[in-house]
Amino acid sequence: MAYILCCKFSPDFGTLRAGFQVRQEEQPRGSRSPQDEVLGEKADTHSHFRVFLLILQATIRHQNHMNRFLPRDSSQQLLQKIEAWRYPATYEFEKHRMVLQDQTGNDLAYFRLPLVLPPPGRQLNGTAGQVNYVLLLIQSGNCALGYFENGQNLDHKVFRSYMVRKKQGTSQVKYLKTKGKSRAGSRVRLGETEEFFENINERLQAYFGEHEVHRIAMSCSKILIPYFFGSKVATPFDKRDERIYKIPKHIHTPIYEVMMQTNKFLLQGELIYDESRQPLIDELLGEDF
């Protein structure tokens, strides 16, 4: 008996749906029916059952979570209410959010602040209450980056590079990590990869040289991080820089429009809580929201 795990992402509801099917193994090893092509490779019972349970748990948690987006002014008002609320709240600089807790330390809700709101109780250098930030989106062969002051884009640049192996559809960097070196085509792609990150860092150096940068909003694949920080043109900040803010959102192929949509997302506050906490959230929000 073989267990088959079938998963798909539903764009309508933004959730990962998982199905678990059981079928009797009848075909000899090496033969594949059309049904096999749909279901995928035969799965190891124990490991895939664990994967299924993890996906199912994550799906249930996601479906029970509520979120509410707020514009900047309303976010400022809500922040003031949180600071005066009967339950304690702490600020996390790395995620730029308030964590609301009960008296025993259990998390009640999270409030992600708009990126243009300064950290509560913290003075920023250079400007009075204004947040300057760089928005940096990197995927294999595509990058969009820009410099922003108080939410307004003052400069931007889009880079493209030949980094993807056409037949396999994977980046040369990922191919080398899993398969090892290939031939002439790979040298071309690796050369373009190096130039790609050099160009990105040159633009970043210009931003950091001309402006006081308070936050670095980033979305970059983990496999590309060593190439980004290991470029011949140095990155103007360390990979452990406390200003780095990992964007809590899936990013599509980085182009100018995607960068501006991401900025719009970052300009909003987001209140996240479990559905069971709705009465407490209603108490917090009152009639003002």
User: Poorest-confidence range of 13-22, 83-92, 184-193?
Assistant: 13-22
Average pLDDT estimate for 168-190: 52
Q: Look at residue 60 and tell me whether its pLDDT is greater than 90.
A: no
pLDDT band at 39 (very low <50, low <70, confident <90, very high): very low
Average pLDDT estimate for 229-246: 96
Average pLDDT estimate for 211-222: 96
Give the per-residue pLDDT at 5: 44
Percent of the chain scoring above 90 in pLDDT? 58
pLDDT band at 109 (very low <50, low <70, confident <90, very high): very high
The whole-angstrom separation of Cα 42 and Cα 25 is 9
Q: Look at residue 272 and tell me whether its pLDDT is greater than 90.
A: yes
The count of other CB atoms within 10 Å of the CB of residue 184 is 7
Give the per-residue pLDDT at 97: 97
Give per-residue pLDDT as tens, 127-158. Answer: 667 999 999 999 988 999 999 999 999 999 99
pLDDT band at 65 (very low <50, low <70, confident <90, very high): confident
Its pTM stands at: 0.73
Going from the C-alpha of 259 to that of each of 87, 106, 161, 269, 287, the distances in angstroms are 36, 35, 18, 18, 34
Q: Look at residue 51 and tell me whether its pLDDT is greater than 90.
A: no
Higher pLDDT, 56 or 34: 56
Q: Look at residue 232 and tell me whether its pLDDT is greater than 70.
A: yes
Higher pLDDT, 166 or 84: 84
Tokens found for residue 257:
């429009």
Residue 273's beta-bridge partner residues?
66, 109
Going from the C-alpha of 196 to that of each of 117, 202, 224, the distances in angstroms are 32, 10, 11
User: Poorest-confidence range of 36-40, 124-128, 246-250?
Assistant: 36-40
Give the per-residue pLDDT at 266: 98
Q: In the predicted model, what is the mean pLDDT of the chain?
A: 80
User: Poorest-confidence range of 2-11, 156-165, 239-248?
Assistant: 2-11
The whole-angstrom separation of Cα 161 and Cα 4 is 38
| Continuous segment of H or E residues that includes residue 188 | helix 184-210
Q: Look at residue 96 and tell me whether its pLDDT is greater than 70.
A: yes
The whole-angstrom separation of Cα 121 and Cα 21 is 53
Average pLDDT estimate for 230-258: 96
